[in-house]
Chain A
Amino acid sequence: MKIKKRPAGRKWTGLLAFTLAPMVVLASPSVASASSQECLGNSSTPANADIAGNWSTQHQTRSVTVQQARKTWQDWVYRGDLDHKTFQCPWNVPSCSYAWQQSKTTGWKWSVGLNVKVPSVLSKAVSELAALTPSYERNGSITTAFTWTITLKPGQKAAPIQVVERRWTQGVYQGIYHSTGKSCLPTTTDINAKPHFYTWDPNARWGSWTTNMAVSDWATYNVWS
Protein backbone atom coordinates (compact mmCIF):
# COMPACT_ATOMS: atom_id res chain seq x y z
CA MET A 1 0.00 0.00 0.00
CA LYS A 2 1.55 3.25 -1.12
CA ILE A 3 1.54 6.08 1.39
CA LYS A 4 0.68 9.43 -0.07
CA LYS A 5 2.91 12.04 1.55
CA ARG A 6 2.54 15.72 0.99
CA PRO A 7 5.57 17.93 0.37
CA ALA A 8 6.44 20.16 3.35
CA GLY A 9 5.53 23.31 1.44
CA ARG A 10 2.01 22.12 0.98
CA LYS A 11 1.28 21.47 4.62
CA TRP A 12 -1.07 24.37 5.05
CA THR A 13 -2.90 23.59 1.84
CA GLY A 14 -3.49 20.15 3.18
CA LEU A 15 -4.82 21.57 6.38
CA LEU A 16 -7.53 23.40 4.56
CA ALA A 17 -9.24 20.11 4.40
CA PHE A 18 -8.41 19.27 7.93
CA THR A 19 -10.84 18.43 10.65
CA LEU A 20 -10.84 17.63 14.29
CA ALA A 21 -14.32 16.27 14.59
CA PRO A 22 -14.57 13.39 17.02
CA MET A 23 -13.02 10.36 15.52
CA VAL A 24 -13.40 6.70 16.03
CA VAL A 25 -10.58 4.34 15.38
CA LEU A 26 -12.02 1.91 12.96
CA ALA A 27 -10.43 -1.41 13.40
CA SER A 28 -10.26 -3.52 10.32
CA PRO A 29 -8.07 -6.41 9.18
CA SER A 30 -6.14 -4.10 6.88
CA VAL A 31 -4.88 -1.96 9.74
CA ALA A 32 -2.86 -4.72 11.27
CA SER A 33 -0.91 -5.24 8.09
CA ALA A 34 -0.17 -1.57 7.55
CA SER A 35 1.54 -0.48 10.73
CA SER A 36 2.40 3.01 9.44
CA GLN A 37 -1.18 3.71 8.56
CA GLU A 38 -4.35 3.94 10.52
CA CYS A 39 -7.85 3.52 9.35
CA LEU A 40 -9.68 6.51 10.71
CA GLY A 41 -12.70 8.56 10.06
CA ASN A 42 -16.22 9.39 10.92
CA SER A 43 -19.28 10.63 9.21
CA SER A 44 -18.13 14.25 9.13
CA THR A 45 -14.63 13.66 7.87
CA PRO A 46 -14.10 14.30 4.16
CA ALA A 47 -11.98 11.74 2.45
CA ASN A 48 -9.14 14.14 1.70
CA ALA A 49 -9.13 15.89 5.09
CA ASP A 50 -6.13 15.82 7.35
CA ILE A 51 -7.06 15.20 10.94
CA ALA A 52 -5.49 15.76 14.31
CA GLY A 53 -4.76 12.91 16.64
CA ASN A 54 -6.87 12.76 19.73
CA TRP A 55 -7.66 10.35 22.51
CA SER A 56 -9.12 7.82 20.09
CA THR A 57 -6.13 7.57 17.79
CA GLN A 58 -2.78 5.86 18.09
CA HIS A 59 -0.95 9.20 17.98
CA GLN A 60 -2.01 12.45 19.56
CA THR A 61 -1.58 16.02 18.38
CA ARG A 62 0.04 18.16 21.04
CA SER A 63 0.57 21.84 21.56
CA VAL A 64 4.01 23.37 21.55
CA THR A 65 4.94 26.73 23.05
CA VAL A 66 6.96 28.76 20.59
CA GLN A 67 7.03 32.26 22.08
CA GLN A 68 6.51 34.00 25.40
CA ALA A 69 6.31 37.66 26.26
CA ARG A 70 9.32 38.90 28.18
CA LYS A 71 7.17 40.76 30.67
CA THR A 72 4.22 39.57 32.66
CA TRP A 73 1.05 41.47 33.37
CA GLN A 74 -1.23 41.60 36.37
CA ASP A 75 -4.67 40.09 36.27
CA TRP A 76 -6.52 41.37 39.32
CA VAL A 77 -8.83 38.47 40.05
CA TYR A 78 -10.23 40.25 43.08
CA ARG A 79 -10.33 43.95 43.85
CA GLY A 80 -12.01 45.07 47.00
CA ASP A 81 -12.90 48.51 45.71
CA LEU A 82 -15.45 46.92 43.41
CA ASP A 83 -16.80 45.09 46.43
CA HIS A 84 -17.12 48.25 48.54
CA LYS A 85 -14.09 47.37 50.65
CA THR A 86 -12.31 50.65 50.17
CA PHE A 87 -10.82 52.35 53.17
CA GLN A 88 -9.86 55.99 53.17
CA CYS A 89 -7.49 57.46 55.69
CA PRO A 90 -9.12 60.61 57.08
CA TRP A 91 -7.54 63.89 56.02
CA ASN A 92 -7.41 65.20 59.56
CA VAL A 93 -5.10 62.57 61.09
CA PRO A 94 -1.34 62.42 60.54
CA SER A 95 -1.17 58.73 59.64
CA CYS A 96 -3.25 55.58 59.30
CA SER A 97 -2.53 51.95 59.70
CA TYR A 98 -4.86 49.68 57.78
CA ALA A 99 -5.53 45.97 57.57
CA TRP A 100 -8.66 44.51 56.07
CA GLN A 101 -8.71 41.62 58.55
CA GLN A 102 -10.83 39.44 56.32
CA SER A 103 -10.08 36.28 54.43
CA LYS A 104 -10.93 36.02 50.78
CA THR A 105 -10.88 33.09 48.39
CA THR A 106 -11.09 33.71 44.68
CA GLY A 107 -11.08 31.19 41.87
CA TRP A 108 -9.26 31.86 38.63
CA LYS A 109 -8.28 30.15 35.40
CA TRP A 110 -4.72 29.23 34.63
CA SER A 111 -5.22 30.12 31.00
CA VAL A 112 -7.32 33.11 29.95
CA GLY A 113 -8.00 34.73 26.61
CA LEU A 114 -7.22 31.63 24.62
CA ASN A 115 -7.32 32.33 20.90
CA VAL A 116 -7.01 29.45 18.46
CA LYS A 117 -6.31 30.19 14.83
CA VAL A 118 -7.02 27.58 12.21
CA PRO A 119 -8.51 27.88 8.73
CA SER A 120 -12.12 28.96 8.88
CA VAL A 121 -13.41 25.70 7.54
CA LEU A 122 -12.11 24.10 10.70
CA SER A 123 -13.95 26.30 13.11
CA LYS A 124 -16.01 23.42 14.37
CA ALA A 125 -12.79 21.83 15.57
CA VAL A 126 -11.63 24.77 17.64
CA SER A 127 -13.05 23.55 20.92
CA GLU A 128 -11.16 20.31 20.64
CA LEU A 129 -7.99 22.11 19.66
CA ALA A 130 -8.38 24.42 22.62
CA ALA A 131 -8.33 21.45 24.90
CA LEU A 132 -4.83 20.66 23.67
CA THR A 133 -3.38 23.94 24.88
CA PRO A 134 -1.52 23.99 28.19
CA SER A 135 -3.59 24.27 31.36
CA TYR A 136 -6.82 24.45 29.39
CA GLU A 137 -9.73 24.66 31.81
CA ARG A 138 -7.34 24.21 34.72
CA ASN A 139 -8.63 26.09 37.70
CA GLY A 140 -6.69 27.73 40.47
CA SER A 141 -7.72 29.61 43.55
CA ILE A 142 -6.14 32.01 45.93
CA THR A 143 -7.00 32.26 49.59
CA THR A 144 -5.68 35.27 51.38
CA ALA A 145 -6.08 36.37 54.96
CA PHE A 146 -5.57 40.10 54.69
CA THR A 147 -4.09 40.49 58.14
CA TRP A 148 -1.07 42.57 57.20
CA THR A 149 -0.94 46.25 57.81
CA ILE A 150 -0.24 49.00 55.40
CA THR A 151 0.49 52.56 56.41
CA LEU A 152 -1.41 55.23 54.58
CA LYS A 153 -0.97 58.92 54.23
CA PRO A 154 -3.89 61.20 55.03
CA GLY A 155 -6.50 61.01 52.31
CA GLN A 156 -5.11 57.88 50.69
CA LYS A 157 -7.44 55.03 49.85
CA ALA A 158 -6.73 51.34 50.06
CA ALA A 159 -8.51 48.15 49.10
CA PRO A 160 -7.46 44.52 49.09
CA ILE A 161 -6.50 42.91 45.81
CA GLN A 162 -5.59 39.42 44.68
CA VAL A 163 -3.38 39.23 41.66
CA VAL A 164 -2.56 36.51 39.18
CA GLU A 165 0.60 37.33 37.28
CA ARG A 166 0.22 36.24 33.68
CA ARG A 167 2.45 35.89 30.66
CA TRP A 168 1.29 36.09 27.06
CA THR A 169 2.22 32.82 25.41
CA GLN A 170 2.00 31.66 21.82
CA GLY A 171 2.20 28.19 20.43
CA VAL A 172 1.37 25.85 17.60
CA TYR A 173 -0.02 22.37 17.25
CA GLN A 174 2.30 19.56 16.35
CA GLY A 175 1.47 16.25 14.76
CA ILE A 176 -1.16 15.51 12.16
CA TYR A 177 -2.69 12.65 10.25
CA HIS A 178 -2.40 13.07 6.48
CA SER A 179 -5.04 11.38 4.43
CA THR A 180 -3.83 8.86 1.86
CA GLY A 181 -7.12 9.23 0.02
CA LYS A 182 -7.63 5.50 0.18
CA SER A 183 -10.67 4.10 1.85
CA CYS A 184 -10.68 1.29 4.30
CA LEU A 185 -13.39 -0.97 5.57
CA PRO A 186 -16.28 0.75 7.29
CA THR A 187 -17.15 -0.10 10.82
CA THR A 188 -20.35 -1.80 11.66
CA THR A 189 -21.03 0.71 14.42
CA ASP A 190 -21.05 3.73 12.14
CA ILE A 191 -22.23 3.01 8.65
CA ASN A 192 -21.70 6.66 7.62
CA ALA A 193 -18.09 6.82 8.73
CA LYS A 194 -16.44 6.66 5.30
CA PRO A 195 -13.10 5.69 6.83
CA HIS A 196 -9.78 6.24 5.09
CA PHE A 197 -6.18 5.39 5.66
CA TYR A 198 -4.01 8.08 7.23
CA THR A 199 -0.33 8.44 7.87
CA TRP A 200 0.95 10.14 10.99
CA ASP A 201 3.37 13.05 10.64
CA PRO A 202 4.74 13.73 14.14
CA ASN A 203 6.74 16.83 13.17
CA ALA A 204 4.19 18.82 11.21
CA ARG A 205 3.45 22.12 12.94
CA TRP A 206 0.24 23.88 12.07
CA GLY A 207 -2.27 26.39 13.32
CA SER A 208 -1.50 28.65 16.28
CA TRP A 209 -2.80 29.58 19.67
CA THR A 210 -2.23 32.39 22.09
CA THR A 211 -3.18 32.57 25.71
CA ASN A 212 -2.28 34.32 28.95
CA MET A 213 -0.80 31.76 31.26
CA ALA A 214 -0.63 32.13 35.02
CA VAL A 215 2.89 32.23 36.42
CA SER A 216 2.28 33.28 40.02
CA ASP A 217 -0.34 34.64 42.35
CA TRP A 218 -0.14 36.95 45.31
CA ALA A 219 -2.07 39.47 47.30
CA THR A 220 -1.62 42.98 48.59
CA TYR A 221 -3.49 46.23 48.89
CA ASN A 222 -4.10 48.65 46.11
CA VAL A 223 -3.37 52.16 47.33
CA TRP A 224 -4.36 55.31 45.56
CA SER A 225 -4.97 58.95 46.35
Chain B
Amino acid sequence: MMVRHLSRAAAGSIAALACALLTACSASTHSTPSAVHDSTARGAGSTKVKVKTLPKSHLCTVLTTDVAERLLADPRFTAQVGPDKGGAPDVCNYASADGKAALSLTPASRAYAAELSAAHALRADPASAGMRDVRVETVSSLGQRAFRETSYQTQARQRITFVVWNAGYRTWVLTHATMADTPTTAAAASDDKAVQVARSITAKLPTSR
Protein backbone atom coordinates (compact mmCIF):
# COMPACT_ATOMS: atom_id res chain seq x y z
CA MET B 1 0.00 0.00 0.00
CA MET B 2 2.77 2.38 0.90
CA VAL B 3 4.63 1.73 -2.31
CA ARG B 4 1.63 2.49 -4.43
CA HIS B 5 0.96 5.61 -2.43
CA LEU B 6 4.45 6.88 -2.95
CA SER B 7 4.58 6.17 -6.64
CA ARG B 8 1.35 8.04 -7.09
CA ALA B 9 2.79 10.93 -5.19
CA ALA B 10 5.82 10.89 -7.38
CA ALA B 11 3.79 11.21 -10.53
CA GLY B 12 1.96 14.15 -9.06
CA SER B 13 5.10 15.80 -7.94
CA ILE B 14 6.49 15.81 -11.41
CA ALA B 15 3.43 17.46 -12.81
CA ALA B 16 3.24 20.00 -10.09
CA LEU B 17 6.75 21.17 -10.24
CA ALA B 18 6.59 21.44 -13.99
CA CYS B 19 3.56 23.59 -13.62
CA ALA B 20 5.21 25.73 -11.03
CA LEU B 21 7.43 27.16 -13.69
CA LEU B 22 5.01 27.20 -16.54
CA THR B 23 2.45 28.87 -14.36
CA ALA B 24 4.73 31.71 -13.68
CA CYS B 25 4.15 33.30 -17.07
CA SER B 26 0.40 33.47 -16.88
CA ALA B 27 0.20 33.99 -13.16
CA SER B 28 2.08 37.24 -13.49
CA THR B 29 -1.13 38.78 -14.77
CA HIS B 30 -2.61 38.32 -11.32
CA SER B 31 -0.15 40.59 -9.65
CA THR B 32 -2.50 42.78 -7.70
CA PRO B 33 -3.03 41.52 -4.19
CA SER B 34 -6.69 41.08 -3.59
CA ALA B 35 -9.11 38.55 -2.24
CA VAL B 36 -10.79 37.84 -5.54
CA HIS B 37 -9.46 38.42 -9.03
CA ASP B 38 -11.30 38.34 -12.28
CA SER B 39 -9.71 36.06 -14.77
CA THR B 40 -9.78 36.81 -18.46
CA ALA B 41 -12.24 34.04 -19.16
CA ARG B 42 -15.96 34.57 -19.23
CA GLY B 43 -18.59 32.00 -18.58
CA ALA B 44 -21.15 31.43 -21.29
CA GLY B 45 -23.75 32.12 -18.66
CA SER B 46 -22.73 35.78 -18.91
CA THR B 47 -21.06 35.84 -15.52
CA LYS B 48 -17.40 36.60 -15.16
CA VAL B 49 -15.39 33.61 -14.11
CA LYS B 50 -13.66 34.51 -10.91
CA VAL B 51 -10.63 33.09 -9.26
CA LYS B 52 -9.98 33.44 -5.59
CA THR B 53 -6.40 34.48 -5.16
CA LEU B 54 -4.77 35.25 -1.88
CA PRO B 55 -3.57 38.65 -0.75
CA LYS B 56 0.13 39.24 -1.18
CA SER B 57 2.04 37.65 1.65
CA HIS B 58 3.83 39.84 4.14
CA LEU B 59 6.85 37.64 3.37
CA CYS B 60 7.13 39.60 0.14
CA THR B 61 8.30 42.55 2.17
CA VAL B 62 11.34 40.42 2.94
CA LEU B 63 11.69 38.50 -0.30
CA THR B 64 11.29 41.57 -2.43
CA THR B 65 11.51 41.80 -6.18
CA ASP B 66 14.98 43.27 -5.81
CA VAL B 67 16.06 40.27 -3.77
CA ALA B 68 14.43 37.85 -6.19
CA GLU B 69 16.34 39.51 -9.01
CA ARG B 70 19.50 37.93 -7.70
CA LEU B 71 18.16 34.55 -8.75
CA LEU B 72 15.58 35.29 -11.41
CA ALA B 73 15.68 37.32 -14.60
CA ASP B 74 13.02 40.02 -14.47
CA PRO B 75 11.11 38.46 -11.57
CA ARG B 76 7.34 38.78 -11.42
CA PHE B 77 5.25 38.32 -8.34
CA THR B 78 3.09 35.22 -8.68
CA ALA B 79 -0.28 35.28 -6.97
CA GLN B 80 -1.40 32.19 -5.19
CA VAL B 81 -4.88 30.86 -5.57
CA GLY B 82 -6.63 30.24 -2.28
CA PRO B 83 -7.89 26.75 -1.54
CA ASP B 84 -11.59 26.18 -1.25
CA LYS B 85 -11.40 25.26 2.40
CA GLY B 86 -8.80 25.33 5.08
CA GLY B 87 -5.77 27.50 5.40
CA ALA B 88 -3.19 27.99 2.72
CA PRO B 89 0.49 28.12 3.57
CA ASP B 90 1.92 31.61 3.77
CA VAL B 91 4.13 31.99 0.72
CA CYS B 92 5.80 34.63 -1.38
CA ASN B 93 6.40 33.47 -4.91
CA TYR B 94 8.14 34.94 -7.93
CA ALA B 95 8.78 33.68 -11.42
CA SER B 96 11.13 34.87 -14.11
CA ALA B 97 9.51 36.72 -16.98
CA ASP B 98 10.21 33.83 -19.34
CA GLY B 99 8.61 31.39 -16.94
CA LYS B 100 11.66 29.18 -16.78
CA ALA B 101 12.56 29.77 -13.16
CA ALA B 102 10.71 30.27 -9.91
CA LEU B 103 11.53 31.30 -6.37
CA SER B 104 9.42 31.00 -3.26
CA LEU B 105 9.70 31.57 0.47
CA THR B 106 7.44 29.85 2.95
CA PRO B 107 7.56 28.67 6.56
CA ALA B 108 8.25 24.98 6.88
CA SER B 109 5.25 22.96 7.95
CA ARG B 110 7.42 20.66 10.05
CA ALA B 111 10.15 21.09 12.58
CA TYR B 112 13.68 21.48 11.28
CA ALA B 113 14.64 17.98 12.39
CA ALA B 114 11.69 16.51 10.53
CA GLU B 115 12.64 18.41 7.39
CA LEU B 116 16.19 17.18 7.61
CA SER B 117 14.98 13.63 8.13
CA ALA B 118 12.66 13.92 5.12
CA ALA B 119 15.55 15.23 3.02
CA HIS B 120 17.66 12.22 3.88
CA ALA B 121 14.72 9.97 3.11
CA LEU B 122 14.39 11.60 -0.29
CA ARG B 123 18.08 11.16 -0.94
CA ALA B 124 17.72 7.47 -0.14
CA ASP B 125 14.68 7.09 -2.36
CA PRO B 126 14.53 9.97 -4.87
CA ALA B 127 12.27 8.07 -7.25
CA SER B 128 9.48 8.29 -4.70
CA ALA B 129 9.19 11.97 -5.59
CA GLY B 130 10.16 11.61 -9.23
CA MET B 131 13.63 12.95 -8.58
CA ARG B 132 17.23 11.94 -9.01
CA ASP B 133 20.63 13.20 -7.97
CA VAL B 134 19.43 14.31 -4.58
CA ARG B 135 22.12 15.86 -2.42
CA VAL B 136 21.76 17.13 1.13
CA GLU B 137 24.45 19.39 2.57
CA THR B 138 24.83 21.34 5.75
CA VAL B 139 24.93 25.10 5.33
CA SER B 140 26.86 27.30 7.70
CA SER B 141 26.21 30.85 8.83
CA LEU B 142 22.48 30.67 8.25
CA GLY B 143 20.17 30.81 11.26
CA GLN B 144 20.81 28.27 13.97
CA ARG B 145 20.90 25.28 11.66
CA ALA B 146 20.53 24.98 7.91
CA PHE B 147 20.83 22.57 5.04
CA ARG B 148 20.60 22.72 1.29
CA GLU B 149 18.85 20.05 -0.73
CA THR B 150 19.42 19.88 -4.48
CA SER B 151 17.66 17.53 -6.86
CA TYR B 152 16.61 17.04 -10.44
CA GLN B 153 13.03 16.38 -11.45
CA THR B 154 13.28 13.93 -14.28
CA GLN B 155 9.92 14.35 -15.97
CA ALA B 156 9.60 18.08 -15.43
CA ARG B 157 13.28 18.59 -16.20
CA GLN B 158 13.83 21.01 -13.40
CA ARG B 159 16.66 21.53 -11.08
CA ILE B 160 15.31 22.27 -7.66
CA THR B 161 17.13 23.70 -4.70
CA PHE B 162 15.59 23.81 -1.25
CA VAL B 163 17.32 25.86 1.40
CA VAL B 164 15.91 24.98 4.80
CA TRP B 165 16.97 26.80 7.92
CA ASN B 166 15.95 27.22 11.50
CA ALA B 167 15.82 30.74 12.90
CA GLY B 168 14.32 31.40 16.29
CA TYR B 169 11.13 29.42 16.71
CA ARG B 170 10.61 29.00 13.02
CA THR B 171 11.98 27.02 10.14
CA TRP B 172 11.99 28.50 6.66
CA VAL B 173 12.08 27.05 3.17
CA LEU B 174 13.44 28.89 0.15
CA THR B 175 12.76 27.03 -3.08
CA HIS B 176 14.55 27.82 -6.32
CA ALA B 177 13.55 25.88 -9.43
CA THR B 178 14.98 26.24 -12.91
CA MET B 179 14.36 24.45 -16.16
CA ALA B 180 17.29 22.26 -17.16
CA ASP B 181 17.45 19.63 -19.86
CA THR B 182 20.08 17.74 -17.99
CA PRO B 183 21.02 17.61 -14.35
CA THR B 184 23.99 19.80 -13.64
CA THR B 185 26.32 19.67 -10.73
CA ALA B 186 25.19 22.11 -8.11
CA ALA B 187 27.65 24.73 -6.96
CA ALA B 188 29.11 24.35 -3.52
CA ALA B 189 26.60 25.32 -0.88
CA SER B 190 28.70 28.30 0.18
CA ASP B 191 28.59 29.65 -3.37
CA ASP B 192 24.97 28.87 -4.01
CA LYS B 193 23.03 32.04 -4.77
CA ALA B 194 19.94 30.60 -3.13
CA VAL B 195 21.89 30.16 0.08
CA GLN B 196 23.21 33.69 -0.21
CA VAL B 197 19.70 35.03 -0.66
CA ALA B 198 18.57 33.08 2.41
CA ARG B 199 21.40 34.57 4.43
CA SER B 200 20.51 38.06 3.30
CA ILE B 201 16.87 37.84 4.33
CA THR B 202 16.91 35.73 7.47
CA ALA B 203 17.43 38.65 9.84
CA LYS B 204 14.28 40.29 8.50
CA LEU B 205 12.06 37.28 8.97
CA PRO B 206 9.78 36.95 12.00
CA THR B 207 11.30 34.83 14.71
CA SER B 208 8.35 34.38 17.03
CA ARG B 209 5.85 31.56 16.77
B16 touches A97 (CB 8 A): yes
B83 touches A147 (CB 8 A): no
A219 touches B19 (CB 8 A): no
Among B75-103, those with CB < 8 Å from A are 78-86, 88-89, 91, 93, 102
- For the residues of B in contact with A, the DSSP-based class is mixed
- Known contacts A92-B119, A93-B129, A101-B19; A140/B47 CB under 8 A: yes
Q: A98-B15, A149-B20, A217-B43 are in contact. List 17 more A-B contacts (CB 8 A).
A: A74-B84, A87-B16, A90-B10, A91-B9, A92-B119, A94-B108, A94-B119, A95-B91, A95-B173, A99-B16, A140-B46, A143-B41, A143-B43, A148-B81, A214-B45, A217-B50, A218-B51
- CB of B107, distance to nearest CB on chain A (Å): 9
- Known contacts A108-B45, A148-B27, A217-B45; A94/B81 CB under 8 A: no
Decide if A52 is an interface residue (CB 8 Å cutoff).
no
- CB of B199, distance to nearest CB on chain A (Å): 18
Tell me the A residues contacting B by CB distance below 8 Å: 74, 86-101, 107-108, 110, 138-145, 147-154, 158, 161, 163, 214, 216-224
How many angstroms from the CA of A158 to the CA of B9 in the assembled complex? 11
A141 touches B16 (CB 8 A): no
Decide if B115 is an interface residue (CB 8 Å cutoff).
yes
Partner of B17, one of A97, A108, A143, A224: A97
Specify the chain B residue showing the minimal Cβ separation from A87. B12
- CB of B202, distance to nearest CB on chain A (Å): 16
B118 touches A218 (CB 8 A): no
The 4 closest A-B pairs by CB, nearest first: A140-B45, A223-B83, A97-B20, A99-B19
- B130 to chain A: which residues have CB within 8 Å? 90
B19 touches A151 (CB 8 A): no
